[in-house]
Structure 1
């Protein structure tokens, strides 16, 4: 995607937007943690100035081109701005979720060996691993505490050097996977894979999908995720009227910006849509023409509720499927009609559509031999895309194990139909014999409206274990039996509150942690080899 006569660049993104004269304003659900005095409404020149200022902080802290800069602070869009600041120096930013537990952060920092660790006081209070006391640390708020650490007062006022741009195939940023099954992987992307292939593709003026000059585009997902970088670059390039940034799924914070700005495009992680389902009558979604969902499976009742919440005559739900390593691989448009349950037919969101034309290819291979299987046969999913990441930091062997020439094993199970559509079954490590956990979850949520979320855990040697989040904390036993009568045998459901389900930063349920919480054996029907 040519932006302003040149390519999208991360380090100078907002300078380029400002030079072009785009009038897009960014509206925040709360002020930036790194610049609370700037308020909640920012324009491209202000953002460009803040990125330059932050680049000056990093330069004063000794960051040089090629260095890795690890950034771990509470979730906010300023994680993206700090990544831009590091990239402006030619360094490689590494956003790390504040949800990461101390021992997990310790492992990731050991693999990264960053030149600078950027944190906030919440992280330094009790979560910074002692083993990394020798890593130069910059504390973004308050006093550094540790005499060896830097505070913002120590680095303010330093003029940022001229922008440095990495070569197109050199590392640009390192992001981490969700970590639903263990320690997240550190995924290396280049300018070509992250900006040219992913953000550049989105920044085209595609019918329906691309934001228009009069659109109000809202985002509510983890800004520590690599998706935040691609989203910011692509939407900024397109120049809608407003970008609305929501940093919490908590309705107390989300309601005000949604009510005030009435978005026309909303992208959120599925768990956030689920939490907002009961709020759709508020009118906040009455102008939405396009919903976008990535990160995880989304179930039909959630899609149906939001499509019916807007007054737009033909709203669309774009369901994308992909990975941090690959970006989007398939997409499907869901409509009100597609989500209707008619004549006993159960609408499904497991149908993820077709590969992105001209960009991605899929094949299904046998789990044991890795040889392609015929259409209509279940197996491991492999993809081919020019947006594939460069490597896993500290896990080169793991990365190479998942590659076979141009093909990359995603770790998911699925079926390619004769028409080329993808039916997703499960993650290989979570597989349910002769069935699909995702499909069972679909059916249960559709048949029991009081169930806000259903998680099905496969358990070798016994029936699968369903875990339900129920709005009023009660479940009628007879309704349960009727709902699951024609499904594979299930254990008695466990009822849990929303906040007790262990989750990743992107709202995915950490199934291994949930197994441990419930006292279930750690083994599954899958091998876990392809995670």
Structure 2
């Protein structure tokens, strides 16, 4: 990964890269880039890392405002032989400090805004690393401009099974876990597999590939390897999710492939109903990280002007990468109520899944709910600083995902819920599917399971309002629920990938974060 952009440039890859705003680490370079320019930026950044004290085997932390330059900095750190740790700038200061204590980085790259915000919360970010580099003037840090012009570090090779990159889990149920991946796990077994010229879902040379993601997540490190090596005609990088700001960028560069966070798809959904919607050329939509509900999938597939557009839905974890896949077409997402949320089939050749009883760990029959175990060569190396927690989630050669599911007789997997989020009756995620079908005004519906009371539904609308008549119609025939709480998008605590922090939201609304599930495998 340290020489990824160099190799692409030497092979003559002519991909044009369009940004919705300039890189924070190169604010004067504008929003239009090519592969040689990005290769030069990565080489320059490796010099910054080296000048700041990064050396082979050291850890460097990247905690900055969300942009693809997080991955460029990670590639530059890899080039020096250091192990980059990508941390979301959306983390609360207390959580970020817990992760930085665990990391003990030699170098930290951050931004003035995050340093100031952390200071307001009583946290001194500069205290966690021997050298703190800031993208702008900030107390206790070295201004990035002071390091510009440093000699680039030569590429440093490491073993395939040595730590390559550290990312963190979403943290929906508490402090995130620091996930250590190797070259073999995240590049050989994920990125290279994904880079194959697979019919329909593979990236083509004439594609315009757009992404709206959380660039601190491990997915974008893998995505970067795929996007740069497959050399599509154009790459469009979106850092915002405001439809009015995103629309002009997408109209100027209409994408043929769109990969986005589920939360980003939800936020960008209004664009699908505009006259000249920017998705008229899109042949493939790709969703990762979290469940996407049918109304959202249907809206984007309808917006495409292609004859047979597809939606690739992946279920997986930071620790494992994708485990299952499912292709949706217009006819497969028609309105219907399901008792579970379809996750698709295990990825051929790469993944094996089985469902077991949570108490005995004995296999359950098809059609019966069980705890989902996975077997994949893409499993990460460890949780940094929490090896015992990592070992506790391994069952022989199997990985305990902590998800409850049902296996169909055709081999497909249907998700019930995260074990920690499960309810005594029915599936929360399937109920959310149905509620979003029945409440068109809802931006999102969240069902919070509780220890000894009916689940609490949270309906998120644009104005924070919902009529009693609409709710009565929506909940008809569904498992028993409490009266709904209606909120606006900005009122809901979220992770950097847009997932709802369910325990925090439950505690805010009820003063009690106890759930029906045990949470043993979070």
TM-score tier, shorter chain, comes to over 0.9
Equivalent-residue separation in structure 2 for 1:111 and 1:292 (angstroms): 33
> Take 1:191 and 1:105, find their aligned partners in 2: how far apart are those partners?
25
Q: Which residue number in structure 1 is paired with residue 376 of structure 2?
A: 385
Given candidates 79, 85, 106, the residue that maps to 2:70 is 79
Specify the SS of the correspondent of 1:236: helix
The runs of at least 4 consecutive aligned structure 1 residues that moved more than 4 Å come to none
Tell me if 1:440 matches 2:434: no
Per the TM alignment, residue 244 of structure 1 is displaced from its structure 2 partner at its CA by 0.3
- Out of 333, 354, 365, the position equivalent to 1:363 is 354
Equivalent in the alignment of 1:162: 154
1:52 equivalent to 2:43? Answer yes
Name whichever of 517-526 and 317-326 sits farther off: 517-526
Which residue of the partner structure matches residue 4 of structure 1? none
- Aligned counterpart in structure 1 of residue 57 of structure 2, from 66, 77, 82: 66
Given the superposition, is the C-alpha separation of residues 131 and 291 from structure 1 closer, same or farther in structure 2, using an over 3 Å criterion? Answer: closer
Distance, in Å, in 2 between the alignment partners of 1:143 and 1:474 is: 43
1:448-484 deviation per Cα after TM superposition (whole angstroms, max 9, x unaligned): 2111110001112221100001234332212321221
Q: Take 1:491 and 1:144, find their aligned partners in 2: how far apart are those partners?
A: 48
1:293 aligned to which of 287, 292, 300 = 287
Kept after mapping to 1: 8 A contact 2:340/2:416:
no
Say if 2:116 is the partner of 1:125.
yes
| Cα distance in 2, alignment partners of residues 101 and 306 from structure 1 | 33
Q: CA deviation at 1:434?
A: 2.3
TM alignment of 1:74-223, pairs within 5 A: 74-127=65-118, 129-130=123-124, 133=127, 135-146=129-140, 149-223=141-215
2:299 matched residue in structure 1: 305
Cα distance, 1:28–1:131 mapped onto 2, change above 3 Å: closer
Answer with 515-524 or 196-205: which moved more: 515-524
- Where do 1:392-407 residues align within 5 Å? 392-407=383-398
RMSD: 1.4
Equivalent residue number for residue 270 of structure 2:
278
1:233 and 2:192 matched: no
Q: Secondary structure at the match of 1:352?
A: strand
Partner of 2:408: 417
Give the C-alpha shift of residue 520 in structure 1. 4.2
User: CA deviation digits over 1:350-393, x for unaligned, max 9?
Assistant: 11111000100101111112222222210111100000000000
Alpha-carbon deviations, 1:242-262, whole Å to 9, x = none?
A: 010000111233112111000
**Which is worse superposed, 449-458 or 325-334?**
449-458
Residues 99-122 of structure 1 deviation map (CA, whole Å, 9 limit, x = unaligned)? 111111111111111111111111
What stretches of structure 1 of length at least 5 have no aligned partner? 1-9
Quick one: which of 28, 38, 44 aligns to 2:19?
28
Distance 1:22 1:49 in 2: 14
Cα distance in structure 1, aligned partners of 2:470 and 2:19: 43
Identify which of 330, 334, 337 aligns with 2:331: 337
Shift of 1:127: 1.2
Higher mean C-alpha deviation, range 472-481 or range 509-518: 472-481
Distance apart, 1:503 and its partner CA: 0.4
Cα distance in structure 2, aligned partners of 1:528 and 1:498: 26
Aligned to 1:245: 237
Residues 70 and 118 in structure 1, CA contact (< 8 A), matched pair in contact too: yes
Q: Residues 348 and 356 of structure 1: is their aligned pair in 2 closer, same or farther, counting only changes over 3 Å?
A: farther
- 2:232 match: secondary structure: coil
Instruction: Give the secondary-structure state (helix, strand or coil) at the position aligned to 1:126.
Output: helix
C-alpha contact (below 8 Å) 2:422/2:449 kept by paired residues:
yes
Supply the distance in 2 between the matched residues of 1:383 and 1:118 (Cα, whole angstroms): 35
Separation of aligned partners in 2, 1:366 and 1:394: 29
Distance 1:520 1:374, change over 3 A: farther
Shift of 1:174: 0.3
CA contact (8 A) 1:299 1:348 kept: no
Cα deviation digits, residues 484-524 of structure 1 (max 9, x gap): 12011111111001111100000000001101110242111
Q: Does 1:486 align with 2:477?
A: yes
Instruction: Indicate conservation of the 8 Å contact 1:300/1:349, yes or no.
Output: no
**In structure 2, C-alpha distance between the alignment counterparts of 1:469 and 1:248, rounded to whole Å:** 20
Deviation at 1:348, TM superposition (A): 8.4
How many Å separate the matches in 2 of 1:153 and 1:278?
A: 40
> What's 1:6 paired with?
none
Q: Does 1:519 align with 2:519?
A: no
Which range moved further: 136-145 or 79-88? 136-145
More divergent stretch after superposition (274-283 vs 99-108): 274-283
Q: Residue 530 in 1 paired to residue 511 in 2? A: no
What is the CA distance between 1:39 and its match in structure 2? 0.8
Q: Runs of 5+ in structure 2 lacking a partner? A: none
Aligned length: 517
